[in-house]
Structure 1
Amino acid sequence: MNCSKAINFVFYVLFILLVASCSSRKTPAPVVEVQGAIPLSKKIKNSIKATQYIVKKGETLYSIAWRSGIDVRDIAKLNNIHSPYHIYPGQKLDLVNQLVASVKKPLQKGKGNIDNVKVVKKPIAQKKNQAYGGFVDKKSNDVNQKVRKWKWPTEGKVITYFSSTQQISKGINIAGRRGQPVLSTADGIVVYAGDALTGYGKLIIVKHNEDYLSAYAHNDLILVKEQQTVKAGDKIAKMGSTDADKVMLHFEVRFRGKSVDPMKYLSKK
């Protein structure tokens, strides 16, 4: 066997071994998320679970409340911030009552068991109606402020529905074409317009009343500014795919800081 034939034979053997090893693979192939949006890891990273938070450039109190799942009024009152809720980069915010948070922390080893600690129930700052996680505003919290009518934020097929158990599906995804109009679902005021929230791309948050907020994500172009008043049906953005792997609108509704199913509010097509 000459040198050329020997080299060809070696490559042939190596090729057969490579094919055999691939066909006998027992580990599953990588799973790719088919949500039409951002990888799960980025969305979880975007949420705020801490009891305190340092404000970053481009954020508003509403965007921080959105990420933490807390009513913006609770954060504002806890930090003595008054409407229109101006904050600045580097500012430290309490997201929960730090006195309550410190009581919940386990005692250090060798200094007793937390189960043996008696917590004396004593009113805290009764004059301000302070409660766990913030202050209670009886005028606005005791009565549900309803929105009269909700309009569909855009045309198209719903490709992902709301899930109360999955972090990746706190709203609905509506498929469409790039540049397609995105509309305000109800009357309100724009409280956030930017791209500082990882996983949402170019995002708009609209406040409809003291109870309800709506969000419009992955836009190609934002057409409104913060503090701008909008009416139901007003064009506020153009559909896009920022921070997403396909053109679509990700639409969410929050009630007092908590995610709710948008389909319960939108009229049936």
Structure 2
Amino acid sequence: MANRPLIRGASLACALLVGGCAGWSTWDEERTVVVPEREVGADDYMVVSGDTMYSIAFRHQLDYRQLARWNGVGSDYLIFPGQVLRLKPAPGTEVARERYVTGEIESVGMDDVAIGKPRAIQPGSPAPRVPPAPEEPPQTAVGGYAWSWPTAGTVLRGFGKDGNRGLDLAGNDGQPILAAAPGRVVYSGNALKGYGELIIIKHDELFLSAYGYNARRHVKEGDVVTAGQPIATMGRGPENRPMLHFEIRRSGKPVNPANLLPAHTVSANGG
């Protein structure tokens, strides 16, 4: 009988020890440190868990294709935690295409580096003709699809107001969020600070659309969606009111969605 308290005490000590060890193990897992593959410079970004090439490009307002090319990433766009990506091209690899004349010296872009040093221009000779910039395809022609409003509601904050990169649309909790055009989901997660539960859809080689502040996401990366398909439900934004933050990016840069969407939207009540 005298041994029972000792046994119970030993059992309690073992239980506390096991519980403590489990706690330490969990704490260690949560504190897992990702070691960068090389030093992270001012113009670099280290990939963390949950990142995709699209989300990193979106965060830094870059074209995902350029970002991949600068870092030797293939067309599968596979990246890994700890990988350090350049956010700018390496010196001498991507160059300006402009030509200009200063005094009597024609400055040439580095795409002409094979020609050698800037070439002297004879006094009195006409300045070299500046080739026109290549024309980009008109926005309406890309993909051959029409944009539609991603949810019913009124515009709370327009493009450019207070630095807004898209439109903030008011609505109701749980209201359906719809794909604004057909495409493929290239990001579905919450790793981008300031967007909450975010979905990014790639529509073609130029356009992406983004849907932030969702309460729940109904699609995952790789899903193919059609225009008007429900992809999420409306959540609450920073002001704790139901809203959708909606962006359209062209070659990585925000554009005003109102220039692509139909002339007007409908109210949250369907009017």
Q: Shared fold by TM > 0.5?
A: yes
2:70 to 78, 85, 92: 78
Cα distance in 2, alignment partners of residues 98 and 229 from structure 1: 34
Q: Which one-letter code corresponds to 2:253 in the other structure?
A: K
Residues 199-241 of structure 1 show CA distances to partners (whole Å, capped at 9, x for unaligned) of 1000000000000000000000000000110000000000001
Q: 1:190 to 1:54 in 2, by over 3 A?
A: same
Q: Do the aligned partners of 1:218 and 1:244 also contact (CA within 8 Å) in 2?
A: no
2:146 to 149, 152, 173: 149
- The DSSP-based 3-state class of the residue aligned with 2:180 is coil
Q: Which one-letter code corresponds to 2:262 in the other structure?
A: S
Gap regions ≥5 residues in structure 2: 1-40, 94-106, 115-134, 265-271
Q: Which has the higher contact order (CA 8 A, sep 6+)?
A: 1
Quick one: percent identity of the two aligned structures? 43
The answer to whether the aligner puts 1:250 opposite 2:245 as a matched pair is yes
- 1:68-147 → structure 2 map (5 Å cutoff): 68-99=60-91, 122-123=110-111, 143=137, 146-147=142-143
- 1:151-166 → structure 2 map (5 Å cutoff): 151-163=148-160, 166=162
- The DSSP-based 3-state class of the residue aligned with 2:91 is helix
RMSD across aligned C-alpha pairs, in angstroms?
A: 2.6
- Per-residue deviation, 1:122: 4.3
Match of 1:67 in 2: 59
The answer to whether the aligner puts 1:236 opposite 2:223 as a matched pair is no
Cα distance in 1, alignment partners of residues 137 and 196 from structure 2: 34
Aligned length: 189
Match of 2:197 in 1: 202
Cα distance in 1, alignment partners of residues 137 and 158 from structure 2: 28
Cα distance in 1, alignment partners of residues 208 and 200 from structure 2: 7
TM-score, L = length of structure 1: 0.65
TM-score, L = length of structure 2: 0.64
- Per-residue deviation, 1:56: 1.1
